[in-house]
Amino acid sequence: MSRQERSIRTRAAILEAAARLFNEFGYEATTIGVLTERIGLTRGGLYFHFTSKEQLARGVLDEAVTVEGLRPQALKLQEWVDLALLIAYRLPREPILGAAIQLSVDPTVRGLFGTRWPDWIALQTEMLAEAKQRGEVLPHIDPATLARLFVGAWTGVQLVTGTLENRTLPDEISSLLDLLLPSVASDAVRTTLDTSPSRAVHLLAQARGSGDTCD
């Protein structure tokens, strides 16, 4: 492994550790001291990559909008469904995704760094507009409104699910999609959409196996 590769890996490990702390304790209660202790780095070693807690938060938010695993589908609406399922599958496995939500719901942090919600909304608006142009979405559905409401709904279902026992996020997001799609998709499209929670596993395996991701 080259020095550059090692540096990239260390940076990623720091960011993941910081994300775990943000998830566990929130931004305020997370300290650089606890972070360096947890990852076994000196402050100097950390400062080579991140010089402040603020930079760590920005680093988390920078990586929070991701389409890894997404692949072109015959139906554009299936890609929108896939994105929701992929993030639901990845979030419990990738601390950065959960940390970005934790940072976004903290009023102090939000005041400092903003949120990535506008980016998620823009991305989904674009996907839904294309799906609508292709006739996959019902005529009265406004892509921007649906994207806005769905980003909110997805986020809230994630937060509530995290506090409930015996509920997993992929199952809940799959149920949310099943609930919404009859109001969103044209009849012929709806019956062919796959909303099963396990779909994300296959999509990620395909993307990672082929080394081909949309990220």
CA dist., res. 51 & res. 54, Å (int):
8
Q: Say if CB 18 and CB 60 are below 8 A apart.
A: yes
Among 18, 91, 172, 200, binds a copy of itself (CB under 8 A): 172
| Residues 103-132 interacting with a copy of itself (rule: CB under 8 A) | 104-108, 110, 114-115, 117-118
Among 154, 170, 193, 197, binds a copy of itself (CB under 8 A): 154
Stretch that binds a copy of itself, among 12-20, 48-56, 157-165, 192-200 (CB under 8 A): 157-165
CA dist., res. 58 & res. 39, Å (int):
19
Exposed (0-12), middle (13-18) or buried (19+): which is 138, by Cβ within 10 Å? middle
Query: By three-state DSSP, how is residue 40 classified?
Result: coil
In whole angstroms, the minimum distance from the beta carbon of 122 to a copy of itself comes to: 12
Under the binding rule (CB under 8 A), the answer on residue 50 touching a copy of itself is no
- CA-nearest of 137, 134, 133, 119 to 65 is 119
CA dist., res. 111 & res. 5, Å (int):
34
CA dist., res. 167 & res. 128, Å (int):
28
Under the binding rule (CB under 8 A), the answer on residue 156 touching a copy of itself is yes
Among 16, 24, 119, 126, binds a copy of itself (CB under 8 A): 24
Name the DSSP class of 185.
Answer: B
Q: Which is nearer to a copy of itself, 49 or 116 (CB)?
A: 116
Q: Which is nearer to a copy of itself, 28 or 215 (CB)?
A: 28
What residues pair up with 137 in beta bridges, in sequence order? 185
Going through 36-113 in order, the beta strands assigned E by DSSP cover none
| Residues 180-199 interacting with a copy of itself (rule: CB under 8 A) | 180-184
Q: Which is nearer to a copy of itself, 167 or 208 (CB)?
A: 167
Q: Count residues binding a copy of itself (CB under 8 A).
A: 44
Residues at the site binding a copy of itself, with contacts judged by CB under 8 A: 23-26, 28-29, 102, 104-108, 110, 114-115, 117-118, 145-146, 148-149, 151-161, 163-164, 167, 172, 175-176, 179-184
